[in-house]
Every structure is written in structure tokens, then in C-alpha cells.
Chain A
């Protein structure tokens, strides 16, 4: 494992997948993995298989749905898209994330006193 890479925090992967589907429209698992890789600039250390665990979880919650379609390879692939409930959840999660990130940011910027 390379030193420069960061592990994905538990729970954040779901948020990333949700946001990607929200921004990009329907994608298959490979497409989602590519998009996250692209955006993270190779900083995240991600077993792409775990994307599927997140996808199943999100689907069971009713936040995304899936449909069979055709991949770039011209083979059958499952395409995922975000649902209305999923969009709402994304909004909630984003707010929550920003709040936590803001707090973390402030805490980490504390100067040493005296």
C-alpha cells in the first residue's frame, strides 16, 4: 500500500457513489469506479469491488435503482441511477458531511497556545 494513498472512510463511499450518480446520470459499476478515481486524482486507495457492496446497500435502501443495459464492450451491464429519495438523502448527507468537515477543519487549524 502506497504511503500517499488514503483509505476510504467507512460510510463515505456510499456518499461518493450517490453523488457521482447524481452528477453523471446512469452509470455502471465500472463507470462509477472510473469517475471516483478521476475525481480523487488517484489519492484514494479503493478496491473497486467494494463499490458493488455500496451499490447493493444503496439499492436495498431504495436510494438508487438499476437497469440492464449495454457496456462499451458491447456486453450486458447493470446501469445504476439515483432515485428521488436518493437525491434527498444525498442532500442530507452532504449537509452533514460539510458540517463535520467544517468542524474537523477548525479543530485541525487550532494553534498551539502559549
Chain B
């Protein structure tokens, strides 16, 4: 308690130094004048009295100084003196100090850069009111093979009506529509939500109003538009509210404009409109809003005040269990619910990955601090005499240590400032590398918290690497270096330097091994066989709205693909609704008469609706049977094609051709799902570039389900696939000028986008590992060079006594080898202990890959010995006569 009080008094005192100085001045002046008056009264002359008074009072300057020191921590004058002196010391060895500042700048800059991303992605709360109350709500099936899944509308409506823990529950799913009636038709991304999205988020429109509850009702078509759309299509016209616009042929009323910074979902940067779930209701009993088996919605909730996640989970699970009993046919596999923090759910593994990267870059800084610490230790050794001299002249130990710390903090700050400059350059570069693979990363930038972090890191590292040399002066005999010939080798700081080197090597191993694993994994991913040929393939999407193509979609596509195939440069073309390497996908259950199951427990698999020639265009091998043909129409025999994994899983290698299955897919409200004959088997494909296995899949001919929209076009070309883009656009425009083409990318590019996250993790970690390795080698070189310099006399004596030069070389190398070997051993242990952290991000390699480990250890050992070889060679060439004369 007393200690704290004293500390506080000093903190206060430090801030009020100047005022207190004046007050104290007045106080002692008065004291002396009173003394003087007394001596005058005793009969002294004025001059004598003044002298006697001063003698009696003691040394005023010393007293003031001491008073100032006691009052705060140090006087401003002393601070200034220490800092000035520190600057002079830094200026004296520019090369050495520049090297230290550079090492720190790299370390601090890398840390600040990664922190700026962590700040934007993880630390910053969601941009909505009371974001901690926002939760993600998923349908789930605890304890079974089925993972969390999206939610169906009827389930959502029951959740919304029956729960007690949420003030709002909102369903949402992506959609895309075509805006027509403007200069040029545009394709827009948007979101279908329940009415209370804005109240849930606590956000208001910048113009107009939000949705009303009755606007969820059948037949309503209202939209909120984004600020960007307001600018680009409506010229910021304030009378836009209430106006009717045409989206994919339907008339919608604009009720509001959202603010420019509004994004929902947070990672959907492109969303231009929000509309109510009324659009999913076609008024029939088969409508999406009435289909309990169609799990297509995401759900976000706002917890009521003071409600915990556990309470919400319990509440929702009770409801889900009740629904599973009530609707066994549809809900048996959705008997529970998982409620978790919205931010956490959105980040998923990405958050972990970013923290791993932040940890890695922290290790790099630690290594840099080790280097600077070692260099300072060397310099502290050179300054032994200076310190001894100052100590002999009356400086106390605290003063000396403080001087050293001021110097190292100065170094740290210089490194920090340079590092921040690096951050300004590095952050945009890394953001480009990340692309859209990390939600919210685009918001990253250098801001106040980031600069605060940089400052804190600089100060902390200044203290960390400043402590070693300072500690050296805290103990031991300061004066011995002044004694004649006092070049005693104190083993202490040398041992400390060695410990630092061992630590650096160990950390370097951990980082390099981590990078090695990610590189191995990435190579595996890029060499992955996708099951199709991604070269020379162009893909794009356009809508075929129901309002125009409701009855003619199949014919339109058939005609379109024929024309597409006839374009110059096009080798083949086809269409797919759930194109691999896009986020599209659907899982639909099917009945299998050979393994009848109750309705709620049917098997399900991924499906895709494709056109003729799709397999040929993608070069997915047809293993047996036939491809879809133009003869497969709505009226003909209903058919399907399965992949090899499907045949193996559900038919155990039997001949599946001719088997009959009934997938739960229907072509609209009037036609129930049909029995389909398997007519072909194709090879497996990877639908996402980071899928660990190729899942069972089945394909249906799009021509037999013409109510399903829309097909991605896949075009195989003989040349650069992008070169056919203009002709493709012309073709579509000639068939219908109101359908804009969107999402034009080569298949290669799509795979590249899917690999953005593993790629940026690999590049960053490799860069950091490289940096760590270089810093470690430089550090090792420095310590060995210094050790050789100090042992010059000893080596001279050995050589003079007849030691062979080769032995001197070996002696130095052996010393380095021991350090490196201990470091490697510790590093291997640490790597094996920490490796499993990376497991979720590794493909085609385990977290403890012995090959990677061997290569990394070999690399560190060889480069380490190389770094030690230069000083060792210098040691070998020592001239004994010079070395001995030197003393």
C-alpha cells in the first residue's frame, strides 16, 4: 500500500515538477533569509550573516536536485540529458545502429501490418448496435453425421414465434436479379430477408423507411437499395422513394436507401438491394416459404438483454426437438440448433489462421530483439570503461542502467517509426494477396489503435533487448575494467549471448517448419487433381428470369448452347447450375428402392443440373453409359448420371446403369419428384479447391427441370479463354439485350480465388520464416565474430605454442555447432508440440512431417555453420605475434 502511495505521489510529482520547483525555491529562499536575520541579530555583518546562513543550510543546488528526483522519477533536465546523450551514442556507430534499427523496423513493421489486419477482422466489433448480442443460428443434428446446415422457412417461422430469448430473429439468403428499365440492364446481387432486419441490426436507412411486418405477405415486392446503387443508377435522386423498378421482370417499390457504409451480410460487399421473403412465396403449397425440407436460409438473431448464449441454445434446442417430433419426415435430421456469436461464426477457422500468423510474426520480432540485445551486449562490453569511469565519478548504478535503457528505448522507437513506414507500404500489398478470402480484411488500414500497437511494441521491445546489457551493470564489479590490464573475460555476458542464439535458432526452426508445412500443403493443393481440366475454360453467368423464360427456358438454353458452340475459337460448351469452384451447391435427398428408409432419414448427396456436353467441356470422364442428350426432355424418360463415388457408396461397385432412384427434385408445384433411371457414370470431381475428398454426386439434365434457374456457361477454347469474351457477350445480347452477363472468369482464376487463403498464409509465413532465418544467421555471425575478437590473444597463444591452424578453425566451428545443435533440438521439440495448431490448414501433409523437419533442420544447420565459418576463418588467420603484441 505504502509503496503504491509513494509511486502515485511520484507520478503526480513528475507532472507538476515546474510548479513545485518554484514553490520550493520560494520556501528555501525564505528559510535562508530567516537564518540570515538571526545571525544579524547575533551581531554579524551582513556579509558574514549571509555566508553563515548558506553554510548552515547546506548546498542548495544539490538539495534542489535531490528534491526534484525525490518528487518524481527524474527531472526534465535529466531526461533531456539522457536522451541527448543516447542520441550521441547512437550517432557514434551509425552502421551498427542502422543495422539494429533495420532489424527492429522489419520486426515491428511486420507485426504492425499483421496487427492492422487482425484489428480489422477480429478485434473490431461488427458495425451494428450492441454487436455482442448478435448471434448466428444454425440448424444442426448433434451426435449424427450431418453437420450444421441452413434453415427452412417453416422452421424459421416456428423458431421466431416460439423462442423466448431473442428480441429479433431474421432469415436471409443471397439472391441475384437483373435490373431493367435503366440505360443498360445490370446484374445485381442482393439479399432476401425477413422484415425486421433493420431493427435487429439497429441501423436505419439514410432515406425512406425500413420494411414493415405486413411486407412479408404474399405478393408484396418492396426493396431497400444500397447507397452505391442510388448513386450509380438513380443519380442520388431524393424522390426515388416510392418509385417502381423492374428486377428480373417483376415490379418492386423502393421504400428506402441504406447508408453508404451499410453492408449486410458484412462480407457481402457487392449487395445492392434487400427485399423481403415475400419474393420466395409463389402462393402455392410448394412455395419455398412453405417447404420444411428446403434448407436454404441463414439466420441471425439478437439476444434479449442479459440473455447468455447457453440460455439461447437451450431454448432453441427445446423448440427444435419439439419440431422434430412434430414433423419427423423433414426434421428428424434437424433435431437441434446451434447458437453462437455472429462474429465468431463468420470468421470460423480464418480467425485462428490470422492469430497463428500474428503469433509467427511476434516470434520474428522476438528474434530481432535477440539480435539487437546481443549487439548491445557487445557494445556494453566496449563501454565497460566508460561506465566504470562514470561510476567512479559518482554516478550511481541506477543512473547508469537508466542511461542504457533510455538508449535502447530510443533504438526501439526509431525502429518503430521506420517500421510504421513499412506498414503503410506492406498493408496494401498483403491485402491484395488476401483478396476476399478473409471477411472484413478490406477494412484494414493504419489507424490509431494500430499506431498505438506499434508504439507499445516498440517500447516493449526496447525494454526487452535493453534489459540484458542493463542487467549486466546491475551486478558485478563496475570498477575492475579501470584497473591496469583489466581485460578479464567475464563469462557472464557471453553465456547470455549464447542463450539468445540458442533461442533464436529454436524459434527460427519453429517458423521455418511451419512455413515448410504450408508450402508443402500449397504445392499439394495446386497439383491436386480436380477431376476435370481447368485449362482453357471460360465461365460466366447470366439470368434467365421466370417472367420471360418461365415456359421456354429449356428451348432457350438449347438454342443458346448450339450458337455458343458455333462461335470461332470455341471447342465445346455446356452449362452447370452448381458449377465447381463457385459458392453454389445443393444437397438433395433421394429414395433408393433397394435400401428403403423412412422419409426423415433418406440419404442425400450433392447434385448438379447440367446441359448436354457439360462433361465433355469440363473433360470429366464418362466411365460408363451415356451423356445427357437433346433427346432428354421433360416428356421423355427421366434420367440421371452419378459419379463414381456415388456408385461406390450406395451400390458398392454393382453395375448402377439402369438402377432407379427418386431424388427429391420437382419441376415446379404441379409435377411431383419423378423416378429416374441412371444412364451414366462419370468421374469424381472436387467442387471446392480445398475439399479434402471428392464427394458422391449426381447430375440431372437441366432440360428435364426447366423451372430451375440458372446455368453457368462453361466454354472450352483452343486459345486464351478470355479472348472469346466479346463474342460471348455479343451472342447473349443478340438473343436478349436485357440479360447482362456477370461473373466472367476463367476456371483457373476461380481455383486461384479458392486458394487465396492458403496462399496468403503460405506467403506470409514463408516471408516471416525467411526473415527469421536471416536475422538468426546475422545474430550467430555477430556473436561468433565477437567471440573470436575477444579470444584473439588466447588464439595467438595457442598458435604460438604450436597448435595447428586447422584446430583453431575446428574450435570455433565446434562452438557454433554446439549452439546451433541445441537450438535445433529445442526447435524440433517446440515444432512437434505446436504443430497441431496448423492441422486444419494443411492438405496432403500431416502436422508432423518428418521430411519437412529434416529439410528445415538441414537448412538451418548448414547456413548456421556457414555464418560461423567467416569468423572461424578469421580466427585461423590470427598472426600470433600481432595478437600478443596487441596487449
Report yes or no: A73 in contact with B56, Cβ–Cβ below 8 A.
no
B71 within 8 A of A: yes
A11 within 8 A of B: no
Report yes or no: B63 in contact with A49, Cβ–Cβ below 8 A.
yes
Report yes or no: A48 in contact with B5, Cβ–Cβ below 8 A.
no
How many Å lie between the Cα of A33 and that of B56 in the bound state?
10
Return 16 A-B CB contacts under 8 Å, by A number.
A28-B27, A28-B31, A29-B27, A30-B30, A30-B31, A48-B31, A48-B56, A48-B58, A49-B57, A50-B58, A60-B6, A60-B10, A71-B34, A73-B30, A73-B34, A77-B27
Contacts of B37 in A (CB 8 A): 73
Report yes or no: B57 in contact with A77, Cβ–Cβ below 8 A.
no
Report yes or no: A53 in contact with B34, Cβ–Cβ below 8 A.
no
Residue in A49, A59, A62 whose Cβ sees the most chain B Cβ within 10 Å = A49
B801 within 8 A of A: no
How many Å lie between the Cα of A56 and that of B9 in the bound state?
10
B471 within 8 A of A: no
Secondary structure dominating the interface of B = helix
A35 within 8 A of B: no
How many Å from the CB of A77 to the closest CB on chain B? 5
How many Å from the CB of B667 to the closest CB on chain A? 87
Contacts of B58 in A (CB 8 A): 47-50
Report the nearest B residue to A59, measured CB to CB.
Answer: B9
Contact of B30 among A60, A62, A77 (CB under 8 A): A77
Contacts of B9 in A (CB 8 A): 59-61
How many Å lie between the Cα of A61 and that of B637 in the bound state?
97
How many Å from the CB of A74 to the closest CB on chain B? 10
How many Å from the CB of B42 to the closest CB on chain A? 13
How many Å from the CB of A59 to the closest CB on chain B? 8
Binary flags per residue of A39-66, CB closer than 8 Å to B gives 1, else 0: 0000000011110110011011110000
B2 within 8 A of A: yes
Contacts of A50 in B (CB 8 A): 58, 63
Report the nearest A residue to B60, measured CB to CB.
Answer: A49
Report yes or no: B23 in contact with A78, Cβ–Cβ below 8 A.
yes
Which B33-78 residues sit within 8 Å CB-CB of chain A?
Answer: 33-35, 37, 56-60, 63, 66-67, 70-71
How many Å from the CB of A67 to the closest CB on chain B? 12
B28 within 8 A of A: yes
B26 within 8 A of A: yes
Contacts of B31 in A (CB 8 A): 28-30, 33, 48
Question: Which 6 pairs of residues, A with B, have the shortest CB-CB distance?
Answer: A47-B58, A60-B9, A49-B58, A49-B63, A30-B34, A30-B31
**Known: A50-B58, A61-B6. Is A56-B34 also a contact (CB below 8 A)?**
no
**Known: A52-B63, A56-B71, A73-B37. Is A47-B57 also a contact (CB below 8 A)?**
yes
How many Å from the CB of B55 to the closest CB on chain A? 9
A72 within 8 A of B: yes
Contacts of A59 in B (CB 8 A): 9
How many Å lie between the Cα of A48 and that of B31 in the bound state?
9
A75 within 8 A of B: yes
Report the nearest B residue to A47, measured CB to CB.
Answer: B58
**Known: A30-B35, A48-B58. Is A53-B30 also a contact (CB below 8 A)?**
no
How many Å from the CB of A98 to the closest CB on chain B? 22
How many Å from the CB of B867 to the closest CB on chain A? 53
A4 within 8 A of B: no
Report yes or no: B26 in contact with A76, Cβ–Cβ below 8 A.
yes
Contacts of B5 in A (CB 8 A): 60-62
Report the nearest A residue to B9, measured CB to CB.
Answer: A60
How many Å lie between the Cα of A78 and that of B22 in the bound state?
13
**Known: A33-B31, A49-B59, A77-B30. Is A56-B10 also a contact (CB below 8 A)?**
no
How many of chain A's residues touch chain B, expressed as a range? 20 to 34
Contacts of B651 in A (CB 8 A): none
Report yes or no: B60 in contact with A48, Cβ–Cβ below 8 A.
no
Report the nearest A residue to B24, measured CB to CB.
Answer: A52
How many Å from the CB of A46 to the closest CB on chain B? 9
Contacts of A72 in B (CB 8 A): 34
**Known: A48-B57, A72-B34. Is A53-B67 also a contact (CB below 8 A)?**
yes
How many Å lie between the Cα of A35 and that of B5 in the bound state?
29
Report yes or no: B63 in contact with A53, Cβ–Cβ below 8 A.
yes
Which B652-668 residues sit within 8 Å CB-CB of chain A?
Answer: none
Report yes or no: A73 in contact with B33, Cβ–Cβ below 8 A.
yes
Contacts of A75 in B (CB 8 A): 30, 33
Q: Kindly list 7 other residue pairs between chains A and B, CB separation below 8 angstroms, not including A28-B30, A52-B63.
A: A28-B31, A29-B27, A33-B31, A49-B57, A52-B28, A56-B70, A76-B26
Contacts of A61 in B (CB 8 A): 2, 5-6, 9
Report yes or no: A71 in contact with B59, Cβ–Cβ below 8 A.
no
How many Å lie between the Cα of A76 and that of B70 in the bound state?
23
Binary flags per residue of A70-110, CB closer than 8 Å to B gives 1, else 0: 01110111100000000000000000000000000000000
How many Å lie between the Cα of A100 and that of B60 in the bound state?
33
Contacts of B10 in A (CB 8 A): 60
How many Å from the CB of B60 to the closest CB on chain A? 7
Report the nearest A residue to B31, measured CB to CB.
Answer: A30
How many Å from the CB of A20 to the closest CB on chain B? 15
Contacts of B71 in A (CB 8 A): 56
Contacts of B24 in A (CB 8 A): 52
How many Å from the CB of B75 to the closest CB on chain A? 14
Contacts of A71 in B (CB 8 A): 30, 34
Contacts of A62 in B (CB 8 A): 5
Which A23-40 residues sit within 8 Å CB-CB of chain B?
Answer: 28-30, 33
Report the nearest B residue to A50, measured CB to CB.
Answer: B58
Contacts of B70 in A (CB 8 A): 53, 56-57, 60
How many Å lie between the Cα of A33 and that of B9 in the bound state?
25
How many Å lie between the Cα of A112 and that of B24 in the bound state?
52
Report the nearest A residue to B38, measured CB to CB.
Answer: A34
How many Å lie between the Cα of A76 and that of B33 in the bound state?
12
Report yes or no: B27 in contact with A52, Cβ–Cβ below 8 A.
yes
Report yes or no: B27 in contact with A56, Cβ–Cβ below 8 A.
no
Contacts of A57 in B (CB 8 A): 70
Report the nearest A residue to B55, measured CB to CB.
Answer: A47
Contacts of B26 in A (CB 8 A): 76
How many Å from the CB of B666 to the closest CB on chain A? 84
How many Å from the CB of B684 to the closest CB on chain A? 78
Report the nearest A residue to B6, measured CB to CB.
Answer: A60
How many Å lie between the Cα of A47 and that of B63 in the bound state?
10
Contacts of B59 in A (CB 8 A): 47, 49
How many Å from the CB of A51 to the closest CB on chain B? 9
Report the nearest A residue to B26, measured CB to CB.
Answer: A76
How many Å lie between the Cα of A98 and that of B71 in the bound state?
31
How many Å lie between the Cα of A30 and that of B28 in the bound state?
9
How many Å lie between the Cα of A59 and that of B10 in the bound state?
11
Report yes or no: A56 in contact with B67, Cβ–Cβ below 8 A.
yes
Report the nearest B residue to A62, measured CB to CB.
Answer: B5
**Known: A47-B57, A48-B35, A60-B9. Is A78-B63 also a contact (CB below 8 A)?**
no
How many Å lie between the Cα of A33 and that of B5 in the bound state?
27
Contacts of B28 in A (CB 8 A): 29, 49, 52
How many Å lie between the Cα of A72 and that of B35 in the bound state?
12
How many Å lie between the Cα of A71 and that of B6 in the bound state?
29
Contacts of B27 in A (CB 8 A): 28-29, 52, 77-78
Report the nearest A residue to B33, measured CB to CB.
Answer: A73
How many Å lie between the Cα of A62 and that of B1 in the bound state?
12
